[in-house]
Amino acid sequence: MMKILAVETATEACSAALFLDGEIRQRWRLAPREHTRLILPMMDALLAEAAISVHDLDAVAFGRGPGSFTGVRIATSIIHGVALGADLPVLPVSTLAAMAQACFDEHPVAAAFTAMDARMGEIYWAVYRRNAQGLAELSGEESVTLAGQVDFPEIQGYGIGSGWRVYQTQLQEQLQELLLHIDVEYLPGAAAVARLAAADFASGRALPVEQAMPVYLRDRVAKKQSERQ
């Protein structure tokens, strides 16, 4: 039986989830700036409820970003600590993919246009398609971009995430008839992280802890610019 413990703290939502051979149990709270206090008790409660310890797990997973720098670091450090202590492989999962997966689990839609407010006039942006297994699959690249310059395929889908609250007009002008619905309240949760992590684990994509790193899209952009120079 596959057993994976996952956490997601990249936004104002704090959550932990336990994947037990297809069944997912989750603890979730909207609690800005309380993640450090909440996440460990959430994890402990899930393990106690299932009557297992971290040493019974097959792997651990975390929302790797993009998102709040502090929030992403919390998830990374917590999971790295568990992985090192119990000698477990790690599965980093995109926070934007987790948002898309939550959307696909609730709605029969083919694509999700995910946008998170990245401040400084920009958004974290990615388009995810629903694959044959019902899982979120990246189309193109994740990016940090101006709302008026997003890349997207010609496919209809839902616009989800906080970026749509702030830049709805600009994004609607870009996508026009491809946009079926907008939900600005979508936040990533550990249940979706766990589901995607289980698929990655089954496909042999688990990593040793030293390779399981967070993703800060601004860092990636800065690195590409420095490489060009």
Same domain, 125 and 84: no
pLDDT confidence tier of residue 92, bands split at 50, 70 and 90? very high
Same domain, 155 and 206: no
How many domains are contained in the chain?
A: 2
pLDDT confidence tier of residue 227, bands split at 50, 70 and 90? very low
- Does residue 53 fall inside a structural domain? yes
What three-state secondary structure class fits 19?
A: strand
- Amino acid found at 138: L
Asked if the bond preceding 66 is cis, omega within 30° of 0, the reply is yes
Residue 4 confidence (pLDDT) above 90: yes
Average of per-residue pLDDT values in the chain: 94
Phi and psi at 103, nearest 5°, equal: -65, -45
**Containing structural domain, residue 23:** 3-94+188-216
Same domain, 195 and 134: no
What local confidence, expressed as pLDDT, does residue 153 receive? 97
User: Which range, of 9-13, 105-109, 115-119, 216-220, averages the lowest pLDDT?
Assistant: 216-220
Same domain, 40 and 111: no
**What's the maximum distance between 2 C-alpha atoms anywhere in the chain?**
55
Residue pair 190/10 in contact (Cβ under 8 Å)? The answer is no
Same domain, 195 and 87: yes
Residue pair 194/130 in contact (Cβ under 8 Å)? The answer is no
What's the CATH number where 136 sits? 3.30.420.40
* pTM attached to this predicted model: 0.93
Rounded CA separation 123/147 (Å): 6
- Does residue 66 fall inside a structural domain? yes
- Does residue 210 fall inside a structural domain? yes
Which region, left, alpha or beta, applies to residue 116 given φ > 0 means left and ψ of -120 to 50 means alpha?
A: beta
Same domain, 89 and 102: no
Residue 128 confidence (pLDDT) above 80: yes
User: pLDDT by residue (tens digit) across 11-43?
Assistant: 999 999 999 999 999 999 999 889 999 999 999
Same domain, 87 and 132: no
Same domain, 14 and 27: yes
What local confidence, expressed as pLDDT, does residue 217 receive? 85
- Does residue 7 fall inside a structural domain? yes
Three-point CA angle 77, 89, 59, nearest 5°: 90
Rounded CA separation 10/72 (Å): 5
What local confidence, expressed as pLDDT, does residue 216 receive? 87
Residue pair 35/14 in contact (Cβ under 8 Å)? The answer is yes
| Mean pLDDT along residues 199-220 | 91
Same domain, 128 and 156: yes
- Which residues, 6+ apart, have CB-to-CB distance to 91 below 8 Å? 4, 6, 59, 60, 61, 62, 197, 200, 201, 205, 206, 207, 212
